Amino acid sequence: MANQMDTLFAALADPTRRGVVERLTRGEAPIKELAAPHDMALPSFMKHIDRLEDAGLVTTRKVGRQRIVALTPDAFAPAETWLERQKRAWEERLDRLEDLAVRLEADSTDDA
């Protein structure tokens, strides 16, 4: 799981790849369309697509002479699960900290 998470987050660390993922939330698209907004040669852009595919975030398929890219369903599930666990842990810690602050404040007003 850690290696999968490392690969996923590493793929999303690059702004070009995040832009591609964001665009794909609106639906699949041909490589040429995805590459258009980015100022780089097509072989360089293809390395980004390959990195996203290696991370399991996208799939590609050939349709005629075009290569179509689509988001992989549930590709973000491992990250969502991990982030949700982190959120719960921090919420529990903050709840305990708040309880402590309330008790300390109550103790200080009792002493006054």
pLDDT above 70 for 9: yes
Q: Mean pLDDT, to the nearest integer, of 50-58?
A: 95
Cα 104 from Cα 35, distance rounded (Å): 58
pLDDT at 112: 63
Q: Which amino acid type is present at position 107?
A: D
Residue 38 gets the label, from left (phi > 0), alpha (psi -120 to 50) or beta, of beta
Decide if 49 contacts 63 (C-beta within 8 A).
no
Q: Mean pLDDT, to the nearest integer, of 78-97?
A: 91
Q: Mean pLDDT, to the nearest integer, of 5-18?
A: 93
| Confidence (pTM) | 0.76
pLDDT at 108: 82
